[in-house]
Amino acid sequence: MADEEQLRLDLEELQHLESVAKRPRVASLLASEIRNIEAKLSVATAAVAQAGVSAEKPSVAVTASRSYVTLGSFSWDQDNDKIKIYVFLEGVDEEKMETFFKPMSVDIKFHDIQGKNYRCAISKLNKEIVPEKCKVAIKPTKVIITLFKASKGNWLDLYFKEDKLKPSLDKDRDPMAGIMDLMKNMYEEGDDDMKRTIAKAWTDARSGKTVDPLSRSL
């Protein structure tokens, strides 16, 4: 299940990058990696479903087969003690919401909203939080996710920043290692324009910006 979850998070990151990519070569490489991840995810999902049937737990297979619309656009602010994330989504039912808070990640799932499932996930936060204190408040037109900081102070960004696009050597500990390797290879093989494009796309995708990050580089 852990491997499947990481594959889903990798897929969401790649799909977001593909949505903002403008250069054909960048888009082609991202599309190729997306197909690769989708194939691996399909195998993992099938294995989970088969295990669920064998153990007479059909609910596992149903959960694994759910598809989600990624909520990549949201705003946030902070004070010395906490972070508040504002997700603009109407019709959320608290009974149909799943929350997963970990020291360095957040994953909130909203089920059955006008026939669709939505997800707001940050696979690696800028700094540690206190999972047991974090909470979600549902408002008529939005959802407010409150994260309590493990250490008081100001966060420069919501997301953890990799050092100059350099991938971690320990791929078992870093779920983004596969994507980072792909981006590093594209960056090293590309010309100056491609390097600027990849750097902007990666930085803006990780910061959750909705404005096209490539418009000024073309």
195: closest CA among 33, 65, 23, 49? 23
Section 49-77 average pLDDT: 64
Rounded to whole angstroms, the Cα distance separating 209 from 131 reads 25
Token digits for 70? 């990624």
144 with 136: CB under 8 angstroms? yes
Residue 31 above 90 pLDDT?
A: no
pTM for the model: 0.47
Q: Which residues contact 114 (CB under 8 A, 6 or more apart)?
A: 91
> Kind and range of the H or E element at 15?
helix 2-20
Rounded to whole angstroms, the Cα distance separating 23 from 9 reads 24
CA distances from 113 to 38, 61, 158 (A): 25, 21, 26
104 with 130: CB under 8 angstroms? no
Token digits for 23? 């250069």
Residue 99 above 50 pLDDT?
A: yes
Q: For 217, phi and psi rounded to 5 degrees?
A: -95, -10
16 with 205: CB under 8 angstroms? yes
Q: Which residue has the higher pLDDT, 142 or 37?
A: 142
pLDDT (0 to 100) of residue 65 = 67
Residue 32 above 60 pLDDT?
A: yes
| Per-residue pLDDT reduced to its tens digit, 42-61 | 777 776 666 554 444 433 33
